[in-house]
């Protein structure tokens, strides 16, 4: 299969929309049937996800000591649980 050829959705047969993602490309069905990746692109994403987890905590501050007079911090955007989640938010 040609690496540059557009993928067709395996559910409905519609030509999927593709966009760059890291070193690879992600294809999505315009009718909402899913997100599809080529095997090599999936491997690249898995490596990026592992790197993200390996380095996620290095730039965070230590947790403060909790005391009775403390108030909860203002709610903000929830931290992503995984690198891949940051791509779709």
Rounded to an integer, the average pLDDT of 70-89 is 68
pLDDT tens string 37-76 = 888 888 888 888 888 777 766 665 566 677 778 777 666 6
- Which residue ranges make up each domain of the chain? 1-40
Rounded percentage of the chain residues whose pLDDT exceeds 90: 9
pLDDT for res 5: 72
Most distant CA atoms of the chain, gap in Å: 64
Taking residues 12-23, report their average pLDDT: 88
Which one, of 14, 45, 6, lies nearest residue 32 by Cα? 14
CA distance 51 to 40: 17
Q: What integer pLDDT is reported at residue 89 of this predicted model? A: 55
């Amino acid at each position: 299969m040609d690496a540059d050829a557009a993928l067709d959705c395996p559910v409905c047969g519609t030509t999927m929309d593709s966009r760059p993602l890291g070193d690879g490309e992600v294809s999505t069905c315009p009718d909402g049937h899913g997100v599809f990746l080529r095997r090599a692109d999936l491997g690249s994403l898995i490596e990026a996800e592992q790197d993200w987890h390996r380095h996620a905590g290095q730039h965070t501050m230590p947790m403060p000591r909790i005391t009775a007079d403390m108030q909860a911090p203002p709610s903000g955007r929830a931290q992503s649980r995984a690198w891949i989640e940051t791509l779709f938010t």
